[in-house]
Structure 1
Amino acid sequence: MTQGFDYDLVIIGAGVGGHGAALHAVGCGLKTAIIEAADMGGTCVNRGCVPSKALLAASGRVRELRNAHHLQTLGIQIQNVQFDRQAIANHANNLAAKIQGDLTNSLKRLGVDIIRGWGKVTGTQKVSVTTDSGEKTITAKDIILSPGSVPFVPPGVEVDGKTVFTSDQGVKLEWLPNWIAIIGSGYIGLEFSDVYSALGCEITMIEALDQLMPGFDRDIAKLAERVLITPRDIETYVGIYAKRVIPGSPVVIELANFKTKEDVAVLEVDACFVATGRIPATKNLGLESVSVELDRRNFIPVNDHMAVLSGGEVVPHLWAIGDATGKMMLAHAASAQGIVAVENICGRNKEVDYQSIPAAAFTHPEISYVGMTETQAQEKATAEGFEVAVAKSYFKGNSKALAEGEVDGITKVIYRKDTGELLGVHIFGLHASDIIHEASAAIANRESVHKLAHLVHAHPTLSEVLDEAYKRAVGV
């Protein structure tokens, strides 16, 4: 332990990022404490990744078993498929509880001190913790802030947690409305539209921007819309925003044109799911005590070493990771940032390579990507003076996809025409979230399509959609 401090490292926030940082810190020989005021595991374990994937797994089975045409092509006949909503909800809740327990036990087993209460910085290398029994101050050579994020609720939207709710309440699946409006068509909106439509709900999806799935590569979004939205019981409003949402029975939603702000229509639905993204939970962290100001979006300013910045300068011994930094609001990105922060605390120069961090939407079928979209790549090419090239392959030509009877899908590879360097990979199709990691490793190593085209993939596997795209890129 560092002389004169209670701990080598104190971490404020025990989400996935804080947990990953704590485990790595112990492995590096640091005496570590982690402070958490709410649920161990944070958003991911309790209100996000984990329970939502349990809901998607169960509802996905229902969708598959009710798809009589698909099953008949495989020679299978099933009738009268039923489900128990409460049992599905229990599956999600029980999984969250199990993983929360596993996470907590892993920290205890490695000797991390878990301090329950609200932690905040009170000065250089000082943290105060407010608990039910009072307040105490602890010292640490280094401090990592990992406070996470909360759902963003737009102005005019009133949340009651029952008829109008965010993902925090949605993962509990307390009821199935006959008609539900989903505000937002990003990851959260798409995944919950998948759950609700599979379980028989009618959906209205409201997107303020001028196209659905605005954060995705356009070729992927177009095909995904044709598969995930158009054939399902989902109507869509694009370029329209929810000016006002009033809870009740029914829920009243006043719609307006996003650009002109003119009133468009009034909807009366059974429920409204607010999926408009997340904002950093950066209030009351005591940052003013070390002269740190949040940026204009209330994120904690950091560099690629995860050191907190004040006026562009590094604040000694203070680090921040996860959603609160606004870099990539993904659980695994937070964990990677935590490891990088600890590496730098230990004097080993490390940076986060955001280009190689993959992302996925666990719809049926899935969407995944890593690196740049084609638009982003073109912008980089214009700035740096090179040409961008694109190659595509399709699941309908993949033997494993044909065997599964799941042929909706596309793989898009984006690369530099001169050097062949891989810039981005986007996949829509069966098990896309698993396939993407080969591309993630390739981007991390700055590989070229010329080398990747000669890798050998097992046959028949879904991974061959990547193999085919690489080969098409170089004409092999």
Structure 2
Amino acid sequence: MSNRFDYDLVIIGAGVGGHGAAVHAVNCGLKTAIIEAKDMGGTCVNRGCIPSKALLAASGRVRALQNTHHLKSLGIQVDGVGFQRELIADHATNLVNKIRSDLTKSLNRLKVNTIKGWGKIIDNQRISVLTNDEEKFITAKDIILCPGSVPFVPHGIEIDHKTVFTSDEAVKLEILPQWIAIIGSGYIGLEFSDIYTALGCEVTMIEALDNLMPGFDPDISKVAERVLIKPRDIETYSGILATKVVPGSPVTIELTDAKTKEVVNFLEVDACLVATGRMPATKNLGLENIGIETQRGFIPVNERLEVLSDGKIVPHLWAVGDATGKMMLAHAASGQGVIAVENICGRDKTINYRSIPAAAFTHPEISYVGLTEPAARELGKKEGFTIASVKTHFKSNSKALAEGETDGIAKIIYHQGTGEILGVHIIGIHASDLIQEAANAIAQHQSVRNLAFNIHAHPTLSEVIDEAFKRADLAI
């Protein structure tokens, strides 16, 4: 380290991206500090992935135990299933506390200097850290920005954090409203509809676009609507905007046709969850001090995660995570953090976003990696090749039959000429675990011609993917 700087690397933001970067930086021999104004672990640990999965685990068991038809088919009888909202909420809180503590201890063990306060860039290699009672300045050879994101609340929606709230409050499970509206049918809306219906709430789901679950592959959305929406106490609106939401008892919601802009209905519900996505938390970072303009709030970066200003690299400044707008996923942020540090150390690395998987932890789960079929067709049209797709069904899988969990499909999208996999989409039991094999195959540009000869354990759910590889190979 040069004597000119306090640190080799300073990271602003101790979410999953910042943590991943800090751990890798220390392993690479860099003297590292991390600045965090709120809670260690950021959104994922405190208000996102971790508490929501704890709630899904608990509510999923309630749903399974209340499914007497399924249990009876397995020869099991359970009477009088009950639960306590407070204890389910405590399960999520306790998990958050444990993982946040483990994360903090891991940084301390590695001798990463953790600084509490608001970090702000003063110039390329100097940072201001503002706490309640003082402001101090530190210098670093390199700086990584990991500010994360916050829930996006559309115009016209008033949040009171009690009757109208975002996922930040929903993960606390402070209430179980008899009737709750969920605005948005992406993975956040889907997961919370799963939680709330399992625990006895009525749900109304409001989607601005023409089809529910617009971010998923169309074939997956169709199955998801059949198994996650229609059998449950969920009313749906699509092509409808929630143009005005007023907190209270009841919450009032004005519904407007997304195309005609005419008001079509009013709802009065007990609560409303706003699940309309997330926006970058890039305000008050001092970006203007070094001439950086955000793009719709996102920090522009190149493939090496170097920050750009007017298309030119800003020396010694990097950004990772949600604030870059590449993929708003915790594991993507962590991977970006490692890649940024590799480049800081002079080892040229980039990241293949098409190979990063994602999942919704509903019951059953949804997972995907790579392109949807419409996106793949657009790519094929642009680059002059034909795509093909195959589907296999969980209902023909021995392990799924043994579990009595046969709803679901696996879909593979591939280059018709070479067999290279372009996308894989799964809905079914343990879909989040099954997707990694496909992600690895996409990362390695594998062809179904080779993958069809891999041997999978029997009887396992992985044979759903194996069967899809084999069908694709036969179709070439």
| Mapped partners of 2:255, 2:308: distance in 1 | 41
> Deviation of residue 288 (structure 1)?
1.1
2:262 equivalent in structure 1: 262
1:335 equivalent in structure 2: 334
Q: What is the aligned-residue identity percentage?
A: 71
1:315 equivalent in structure 2: 314
Pairing 1:113–2:113 present:
yes
| Mapped partners of 2:318, 2:2: distance in 1 | 18
| Mapped partners of 1:111, 1:474: distance in 2 | 51
2:60 equivalent in structure 1: 60
| Mapped partners of 2:94, 2:2: distance in 1 | 40
1:379 equivalent in structure 2: 378
| Mapped partners of 2:50, 2:29: distance in 1 | 30
1:305 equivalent in structure 2: 304
> Deviation of residue 111 (structure 1)?
0.4
TM-superposition CA deviations, 1:20-51 (whole Å, max 9, x none): 00000000000000000001000000000000
> Deviation of residue 451 (structure 1)?
0.3
1:470 equivalent in structure 2: 469
1:364 equivalent in structure 2: 363
> Deviation of residue 289 (structure 1)?
1.2
| Mapped partners of 2:415, 2:360: distance in 1 | 26
Secondary structure of 1:14 counterpart? coil
| Mapped partners of 2:281, 2:259: distance in 1 | 29
> Deviation of residue 2 (structure 1)?
2.9
Secondary structure of 1:226 counterpart? helix
Over 2 Å off, 4+ runs: none
- 5 Å-filtered alignment, 1:134-145, equals 134-145=134-145
Amino acid of the residue matched to residue 431 of structure 2?
A: A
TM-superposition CA deviations, 1:372-403 (whole Å, max 9, x none): 00011000000110000101100000000000
Secondary structure of 1:475 counterpart? helix
1:354 equivalent in structure 2: 353
1:43 equivalent in structure 2: 43
- 5 Å-filtered alignment, 1:158-177, equals 158-177=158-177
- 5 Å-filtered alignment, 1:192-271, equals 192-271=192-271
Secondary structure of 1:456 counterpart? coil
TM-superposition CA deviations, 1:415-441 (whole Å, max 9, x none): 001000010000000000000000000
> Deviation of residue 446 (structure 1)?
0.3
| Mapped partners of 1:201, 1:95: distance in 2 | 24
> Deviation of residue 14 (structure 1)?
0.1
Structure 2: runs of 5+ lacking an equivalent = none
Secondary structure of 1:333 counterpart? helix
- 5 Å-filtered alignment, 1:349-428, equals 349-428=348-427
| Mapped partners of 2:394, 2:435: distance in 1 | 14
| Mapped partners of 1:47, 1:2: distance in 2 | 38
Amino acid of the residue matched to residue 63 of structure 2?
A: R
Secondary structure of 2:203 counterpart? strand
Secondary structure of 2:128 counterpart? strand
| Mapped partners of 2:116, 2:289: distance in 1 | 22
| Mapped partners of 1:420, 1:472: distance in 2 | 11
Secondary structure of 1:9 counterpart? strand
Pairing 1:31–2:31 present:
yes
> Deviation of residue 474 (structure 1)?
1.3
Secondary structure of 2:328 counterpart? coil
> Deviation of residue 259 (structure 1)?
1.3
Paired residues in the alignment total: 475
1:17 equivalent in structure 2: 17
Secondary structure of 1:50 counterpart? helix
Secondary structure of 1:469 counterpart? helix
| Mapped partners of 1:124, 1:402: distance in 2 | 59
2:150 equivalent in structure 1: 150
2:178 equivalent in structure 1: 178
| Mapped partners of 2:466, 2:181: distance in 1 | 40
Amino acid of the residue matched to residue 210 of structure 1?
A: D
> Deviation of residue 3 (structure 1)?
2.9
1:277 equivalent in structure 2: 277
What is the TM-score when the length of structure 1 is the normalising length?
0.99
Amino acid of the residue matched to residue 238 of structure 1?
A: S
What is the TM-score when the length of structure 2 is the normalising length?
0.99
| Mapped partners of 1:154, 1:288: distance in 2 | 26
2:189 equivalent in structure 1: 189
1:88 equivalent in structure 2: 88
Secondary structure of 1:390 counterpart? strand
Q: What is the RMSD computed on CA atoms of the aligned residues?
A: 0.6
| Mapped partners of 2:2, 2:454: distance in 1 | 48
2:325 equivalent in structure 1: 326
| Mapped partners of 1:92, 1:83: distance in 2 | 14
TM-superposition CA deviations, 1:449-470 (whole Å, max 9, x none): 0000000000000000000000
